[in-house]
Amino acid sequence: MRILVTGGAGYIGSVSVEAFLASGHEVTVLDDLSTGHRDAVPEGARLEVGSYSDSEAVARLLARHQIDAVLHCGAKSLVSESMTNPAKYFIGNVSGGIALLEGMRAVGVKRIVFSSTAATYGMPDRTPVMESDPVRPINAYGETKRSVEGAIRWYGHGYGFQ
């Protein structure tokens, strides 16, 4: 399988890339390197420096590398910064996430795994948190991740995304 990993130069993304490569998959990493590190991208993965927030560029990349599925790990992720600069998080995470989905839709890539966060649960009623527990974000970061989860769910209903 040919997989695109957004944010693949970050910690979670790069560890996922390693696992995909070890399982025999072909991996392309899309990362703007604003918080990720070029050296974190495992050998054997192709690095494309850029942003997932440009749907046309994403569509070209997906088509060029004949991508089958996307692991979306890219995001702005500092909780405290999200509270003092929520616009940065809504533009980067939500608008960017929708741009990624639109790039995927343009070329017919409908398989996505989203790296979300426990911050969507806010102050959970119990631990460990179960996926079925209510989502009640208490910061802008958690709200942006919840928003992208909702967009992905609706892209599934409307466009057949899985």
DSSP per position, 122-138: SS-SSSSPPTTSPP---
Contact between 4 and 70 (Cβ < 8 Å): yes
27: helix, strand or coil: strand
Instruction: Supply the pTM of this predicted model.
Output: 0.95
> What pLDDT sits at residue 53?
97
Token duo for residue 3: 């997989």
Comparing C-alpha atoms, which of 61, 136, 144 is closest to residue 96?
Answer: 144
C-alpha angle 149-154-160 in degrees, rounded to nearest 5: 115
- The residues assigned a catalytic role are 141
> What pLDDT sits at residue 10?
96
> What pLDDT sits at residue 13?
97
Residues of the chain with pLDDT under 50: none
> What pLDDT sits at residue 109?
98
